[in-house]
Structure 1
Amino acid sequence: HGKDCYVDPYNVAINGCNDHKPYTDIPHRSWTFRSIGYGHDLKVWKDIVSALRMVGYDHAISLEHEDGMMSFDEGVKKGLDALKEVVTVESAGEMFWA
């Protein structure tokens, strides 16, 4: 499924990666769930989608919203917009140039 995560390097240095602070304590957490594109840039997501395609995955990517910094509606819209930009829909077809 599609869900992003922001890792705060300063809080990781203090608390480590396995941070169990409440999800609402975003400023002090080592990581927090974010909408797609708000934790990692779209280049990372393009690489993920490309890797999935390389291993033969050609199925759904379900969007999951747990971003505590935006509403459900806004997070889903922004996540879907990001997925539309990075997901390839059409197959490459015959590589006549190769």
Structure 2
Amino acid sequence: PWPPEYSDMLAWQWEQQLIPYWKDAGAFAADHGIGVAIEAHPGFCVYNPETAMQLRSEAGKSIGINLDPSHFYWQGIDLPAAIAYLGEAIFHVHAKDVALNASNVARTGVLDAKSYTRMQERSWLFRSVGWGHDELEWKRIASALRLAGYDHVISIEHEDALASIREGLAAAVATLSRVILQEPPVEAWWV
């Protein structure tokens, strides 16, 4: 709310730009029987569960969310609570993790815009599934998704600068296989 220009800017973004655009896009999507999943991300107008639901309430039920746990963990949001709140508005799910560096967070906070080339100085880094949060936390996510009625794709998104694509994908597949299937993964198709 301060300085006042921030509130004015936010109102202009939502009332003059975001809502009119997404009302039209939502109506078009509904007329064509499709849903549009918006990926909430810090720095965007839609960045958390509350803003996702705010846009959905204005633009209609054809507008939902592409849930990326890493974006919410980075902000300190509890994923099972967010999933329960979002419910049927979850149209797609990414499997991506984030690791917070506690000493850097203590010094600079979580709104870190440093280059990814300065990994040791950053407050957070995107990580492969299981390399930011443990399996118990991913089980909580899987359970919350089931309770919310989500029974669709969970797509692995690799943005882990500390792991090769092969390492990150193998780690994510192994972790998610134990979490979702509750069994070891089958022979990897990419080997």
Task: Map 1:55-94 to 2 at 5 A.
Answer: 55-88=148-181
d(CA) in 1 for partners of 2:119, 2:135? 22
Aligned to 1:94: none
Task: Map 1:18-97 to 2 at 5 A.
Answer: 18-88=111-181
Query: 1:23 Cα shift?
Result: 1.2
Please state whether the residue corresponding to 2:155 is helix, strand or coil.
coil
Answer 1 or 2: which has greater strand percent: 2
Cα-to-partner distance string for 1:40-96 (whole Å, 9 max, x where unaligned): 01100000000000111111100000111111111111111111111148xxxxxxx
Pairwise CA RMSD:
1.2
Aligned to 2:110: 17
Query: 1:9 Cα shift?
Result: 1.1
* Worse overlay, 41-50 or 73-82: 73-82
Unaligned runs of 5+ in 2: 1-93, 183-191
Give runs of ≥4 in structure 1 deviating > 4 Å: none
Q: 1:22 corresponds to which letter in structure 2?
A: S
d(CA) in 1 for partners of 2:115, 2:148? 37
* Worse overlay, 60-69 or 20-29: 20-29
The higher-RCO structure (CA 8 Å, 6+ apart) is: 1
Identity %: 48
- The TM-score normalised by the length of structure 2 is 0.45
- The TM-score normalised by the length of structure 1 is 0.86
Answer 1 or 2: which has greater helix percent: 2
Q: Between Structure 1 and Structure 2, how many residues are aligned?
A: 89
Please state whether the residue corresponding to 2:139 is helix, strand or coil.
helix
Unaligned runs of 5+ in 1: 90-98
